Amino acid sequence: AEAAELRARLRAVRHTVLVLSGKGGVGKSTFSALLAHGLAADESKQVALLDIDICGPSIPKIMGLEGEQVHQSGSGWSPVYVEENLGVMSVGFLLSSPDDAVIWRGPKKNGLIKQFLRDVDWGEVDYLIVDTPPGTSDEHLSIVQYLSATHIDGAVIITTPQEVSLQDVRKEINFCRKVKLPIIGVVENMSGFVCPKCKNESQIFPPTTGGAEKMCQNLNVSLLGKVPLDPQIGKSCDRGQSFLAEAPESPATLSYRNIIQRIQEYCEQHHFQEEKIM
């Protein structure tokens, strides 16, 4: 009955993409937000961003929605809209202050994730982007289990070039394979820094073991792209603005746009293959 309820609610969602990372601080929430902004740039597409990072919900801040509240209607919780075609849901909207700590055990977290999937009235959605917490814990198992009632196009895994980050990404890839979650590909964030004055490129996080490229070759996973460091990304996130709109000529924006296009192509291909099977 529970699976049927989730299936009924999510029937109008065409594509679902999970954004994962092995550890915190690699830019996963920033990537989720910019992926949502990039997809919503096409006004004919309806995009939903679901933040299930329950202990560290940074999506409201990044999307410029701090202080917003969730409203209840006859058909469920209404998402908070950034644009007409971009809706957001996060535990951050349920807290009385952004500084409130969420001190919950696993079952309560899982209950809220289920509630987000069952009770949020997204309407017709082309892309549902799910920003997950770092690691391979309770929340990840829950979201994969609940979404198995519908379908997941796949996961995008975010890393930085250094070995200490890649080590955890290998665990994340292993997790995806164990729970039969398709991997769309890996994004290497903070991949070099181009000085705005002299245009020289520096490796802030040197890829001592070959970076994400070498790891993807070894594990037979797609490398979706590399995003260079740009200080403007952090500033845009703090202001709740879209970096893609604020710095359209930045090399990082060009990387993001290429990666977003590759994710779209993957989803369309995945959808086409599913329809053929059906």
Task: Please count the other Cβ atoms lying within 10 Å of the Cβ belonging to residue 250.
Answer: 19
* Cα 182–chain centre separation: 15
Task: Please count the other Cβ atoms lying within 10 Å of the Cβ belonging to residue 173.
Answer: 21
Alpha-carbon span 221 to 218, nearest angstrom? 8
Q: What is the pTM of this model?
A: 0.94
77 forms beta bridges with 72, 120
pLDDT band (50, 70, 90) for residue 275:
low
Element (H, E) at 128: strand 125-131
Domains recognised in the chain with CATH numbers? 1-276 (3.40.50.300)
| Distance set, CA 26 to CA 62, 150, 161, 190, 223 (Å) | 15, 29, 10, 8, 16
Mean pLDDT of 240-252: 95
Check whether 101 has a pLDDT greater than 90: no
pLDDT 10s digits, 3-60: 888 888 899 999 999 999 999 999 999 999 999 999 999 999 999 999 999 999 999 9
9 forms beta bridges with none
Q: Cα dihedral angle (78, 82, 83, 84), rounded to 10 degrees?
A: 10
Q: Cα dihedral angle (213, 217, 222, 225), rounded to 10 degrees?
A: 10
Q: 273 versus 179: which is more confidently predicted? A: 179
Mean pLDDT taken over the chain: 92
β-strands 183-188, 154-159 pairing: parallel
pLDDT 10s digits, 138-176: 899 999 999 987 889 999 999 999 999 999 999 999 999
Alpha-carbon span 212 to 62, nearest angstrom? 26
